[in-house]
């Protein structure tokens, strides 16, 4: 959800730094998933298609927003496959002008690390503290999305000379959307757990 | 026409379109787009950006896709560029373009701020147009062939399968939205009712997607899938025409830079 929607708002130096970080994380994720069960890879690929499809839907909540469900994919697929899914979704977004080649590194870090990986980590670590999937899903998603929104604003602040008011407007918009996405994600996770899906408590 | 590009339409142009750019080798087009994008990122010169926008728009016209499509597809990048540049005229110090005295304070729009905002919007729009030029004219299977060659197995399998399923997912979502609309779902205006409605619909849709994934995996396993997808080579040979396109596009970009004065590589 919190990602840089267009090319050319970050200077070249920062584009390269974020690309370097993304490639490093990509290497780690590929190493960790080298012996992954092909069934889970296929499942994650289809979840990535789901996330990309969802991004094209304008949800008529508040002023109309779009979601991406990367925290949900992280929770369902695990951190490393979740990171790979974030990279794949970013590549597809480039194809429709939603994002960009040079900002794809920054976007992969935002969606992969701050949303998919962080949400997975929060969802699994809070298992004992918050046993209810509905609440735990909402908390994990909301926290990861808010941190991701702050990270995105931080990335912009490091690279682009925008006014503090602009950063504040972006933060308010993304935190507002985080409320919506975390509630919908919680309802989906609750629905999946009610249906007895083994996806919700992925190892 | 929606706010987001229609993936089906892009695919139709890419696979079945016939324009001079369709006949150019993907690598030549990708290098050109990368060069345009890098220039857009490092340039802060208004004249250079206007010239780049015109050049990219001309290349988009060569795709023979209707301009109204790619102009409407610019909405998302434009809105993002606009949202981050809207405050600049009020906050960047400089010569006053307009000054309004309000009761407690004075609002001033600076010329420098307006120029900075304009530069951001020009950058955003040009970079997006460059991408549309390549995706509208390059068969996605050709692109995926190079992806498969470039990326490790796990990633290339994910990319290929995601591509395969994106169309089905988008179609099913379209049907789902129509079904919700037909049942009066679009009339719901309450925040929590909408959350519940979309949460349940997307949950059901996710379950259906996962069931499909299971069926697909079983079918693939039956056919001997071992975790590797092998694509038949659809790629063209890099011909003299492709080289001529690449050289002429890179020369045009260099000439354009030279004409529009020096590039301020402020960012590096």
Residue of chain A minimizing CA distance to B3: A56
The mean pLDDT of A181-190, rounded to a whole number, is: 86
- What is the band of A136 on the pLDDT scale with cuts at 50, 70, 90? very high
Q: Chain B residues with CB inside 8 Å of A42's CB?
A: 157, 161, 213, 216-217, 220
CA distance A129 to chain B (A): 24
Pairing of strands B96-101, B106-110: antiparallel
Question: Is-contact B82 B88, C-beta < 8 A?
Answer: no
Q: Which of B80, B135, B217 sits opposite A5 (nearest CB)?
A: B80
Q: Write out chain B's pLDDT in tens, 268 residues.
A: 455 677 778 888 888 888 888 888 888 998 999 999 888 888 888 888 898 999 999 988 888 888 888 788 887 778 777 877 777 788 777 788 778 777 777 778 888 888 888 888 898 889 889 988 888 888 877 777 777 778 888 888 888 888 888 888 877 877 877 887 787 766 666 777 777 777 777 777 877 777 777 787 888 888 887 777 776 666 677 889 989 999 998 998 888 887 775 555 444 4
Residue B162 to residue A57, Cβ atoms within 8 A: no
Main-chain phi, psi angles of A5, to 5 degrees: -80, -10
Rg over alpha carbons for chain B, rounded to the nearest Å, is 23
Q: Chain B residues with CB inside 8 Å of A57's CB?
A: 173, 177
Mutate to test the interface with A, among B195, B225, B265, B266 (most CBs of A within 10 A): B195
CA distance A157 to chain B (A): 12
A20 burial (CB, 10 Å; 0-12 / 13-18 / 19+) is exposed
The mean pLDDT of A11-40, rounded to a whole number, is: 91
Q: Which of A162, A188, A191 sits opposite B84 (nearest CB)?
A: A162
Q: In whole numbers, what is the pLDDT of chain A averaged over residues? A: 84
Q: Can you read off the two tokens belonging to residue B106?
A: 């004075």
Mutate to test the interface with A, among B116, B199, B216, B223 (most CBs of A within 10 A): B199
Helix (H), strand (E) counts: chain B:
11, 2
Residue B83 to residue A84, Cβ atoms within 8 A: no
Provide the b/e sequence for B34-53 (b: ≥16 CB within 10 Å).
Answer: ebbbbbbbbbbbeebbebbb
| The CATH number, out of the four listed (1.10.1760.20, 1.10.3470.10, 1.10.645.10, 3.40.50.20), of the domain defined by the range A12-194 | 1.10.1760.20
Mutate to test the interface with A, among B5, B41, B56, B147 (most CBs of A within 10 A): B41
Question: Is-contact A105 A23, C-beta < 8 A?
Answer: yes
Q: Chain A residues with CB inside 8 Å of B210's CB?
A: 43, 46-47, 197, 199
Q: Where are the domains of chain B?
A: 7-139+234-259, 151-222
Distances (CA, A) of A183 to A120, B35, B209: 16, 42, 21
Cβ-based contacts under 8 A for chains A and B: 245
Q: What is the ipTM of this complex?
A: 0.84
Question: Is-contact A11 B41, C-beta < 8 A?
Answer: yes
Q: What is the dihedral of CA B142, B125, B170, A77, to 10 degrees?
A: 80
Q: Chain A residues with CB inside 8 Å of B159's CB?
A: 45, 88, 91
Q: Where are the domains of chain A?
A: 12-194
Cα B128 from chain centre:
5
Q: In degrees, to the nearest 5, what angle opens at C-alpha A115 toward C-alphas A113 and A119?
A: 105
Residue A187 to residue B203, Cβ atoms within 8 A: yes
Residue A191 to residue B7, Cβ atoms within 8 A: no
Helix/strand/coil percentages in chain B, nearest 5: 70, 5, 25
Q: List the one residue out of A139, A152, A76 whose CA is nearest residue A113.
A: A152
- Tell me how long chain B is: 268
Query: Beta strands of chain B (E only): which ranges?
Result: 96-101, 106-110
CA distance B49 to chain A (A): 11
pLDDT of residue A62: 47
Question: Is-contact A12 A4, C-beta < 8 A?
Answer: no
Q: Which of B90, B161, B169 sits opposite A42 (nearest CB)?
A: B161
Provide the b/e sequence for B112-129 (b: ≥16 CB within 10 Å).
Answer: ebbbbbbbbbbbbbbbbb
pLDDT of residue A203: 44
Residue A53 to residue B41, Cβ atoms within 8 A: no
Residue A183 to residue B162, Cβ atoms within 8 A: no
* Residue A126: pLDDT over 70: yes
Question: Is-contact B28 B242, C-beta < 8 A?
Answer: yes
DSSP state for residue A113 in the 8-state scheme: I
Residue A88 to residue B162, Cβ atoms within 8 A: yes
d(CA A148, CA B226): 36
High-pLDDT (> 70) share of chain A, %: 89
């Amino acid at each position: 959800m919190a990602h840089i929607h267009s090319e050319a708002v970050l200077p070249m130096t920062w584009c390269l730094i974020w690309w370097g970080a993304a490639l490093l994380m990509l290497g780690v994720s590929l190493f960790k998933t080298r012996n992954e069960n092909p069934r889970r890879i296929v499942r994650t690929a289809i979840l990535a298609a789901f996330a990309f499809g969802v991004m094209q839907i304008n949800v008529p909540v508040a002023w109309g927003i779009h979601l991406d469900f990367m925290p949900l994919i992280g929770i369902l697929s695990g951190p490393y496959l979740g990171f790979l899914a974030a990279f794949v979704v970013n590549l597809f977004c480039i194809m429709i002008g939603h994002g960009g080649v040079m900002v794809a590194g920054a976007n992969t870090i935002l969606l992969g690390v701050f949303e998919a990986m962080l949400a997975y980590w929060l969802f699994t670590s809070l298992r004992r503290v918050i046993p209810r999937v509905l609440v735990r899903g909402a908390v994990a998603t909301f926290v990861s999305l808010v941190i991701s929104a702050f990270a995105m604003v931080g990335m912009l602040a490091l690279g682009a000379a925008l006014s503090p008011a602009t950063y504040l407007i972006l933060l308010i918009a993304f935190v507002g959307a985080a409320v919506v996405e975390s509630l919908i994600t919680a309802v989906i996770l609750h629905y999946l757990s009610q249906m007895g899906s083994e996806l919700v408590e992925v190892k | 026409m929606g706010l987001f590009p229609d993936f089906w339409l892009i695919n139709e142009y890419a696979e079945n379109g016939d324009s001079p750019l369709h006949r150019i080798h993907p690598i030549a087009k990708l290098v050109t787009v990368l060069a345009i994008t890098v220039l857009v990122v490092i340039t802060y010169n208004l004249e250079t950006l206007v010239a780049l926008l015109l050049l990219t728009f001309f290349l988009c016209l060569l795709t023979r896709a209707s301009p109204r499509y790619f102009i409407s597809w610019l909405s998302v990048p434009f809105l993002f560029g606009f949202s981050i540049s809207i405050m600049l005229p009020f906050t960047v110090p400089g010569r006053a373009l307009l000054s309004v005295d309000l009761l407690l304070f004075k609002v001033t729009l600076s010329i420098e701020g307006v120029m900075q905002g304009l530069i951001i919007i020009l950058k955003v729009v040009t970079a997006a147009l460059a991408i549309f030029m390549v995706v509208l004219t390059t068969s996605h299977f050709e692109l995926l062939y190079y992806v498969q060659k470039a990326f490790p197995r796990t990633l290339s399998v994910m990319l290929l399968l995601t591509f395969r399923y994106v169309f089905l997912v988008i179609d099913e979502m379209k049907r789902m939205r129509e079904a919700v609309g037909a049942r009066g779902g679009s009339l719901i205006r309450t925040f929590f009712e909408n959350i519940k409605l979309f949460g349940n619909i997307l949950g059901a849709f996710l379950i259906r997607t996962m069931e499909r994934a299971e069926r697909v995996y079983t079918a693939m396993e039956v056919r001997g899938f071992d975790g590797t997808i092998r694509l038949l080579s659809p790629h063209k040979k890099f011909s003299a025409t492709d080289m001529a396109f690449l050289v002429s596009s890179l020369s045009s970009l260099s000439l354009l830079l030279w004409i529009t004065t020096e590039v301020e590589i402020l960012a590096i």
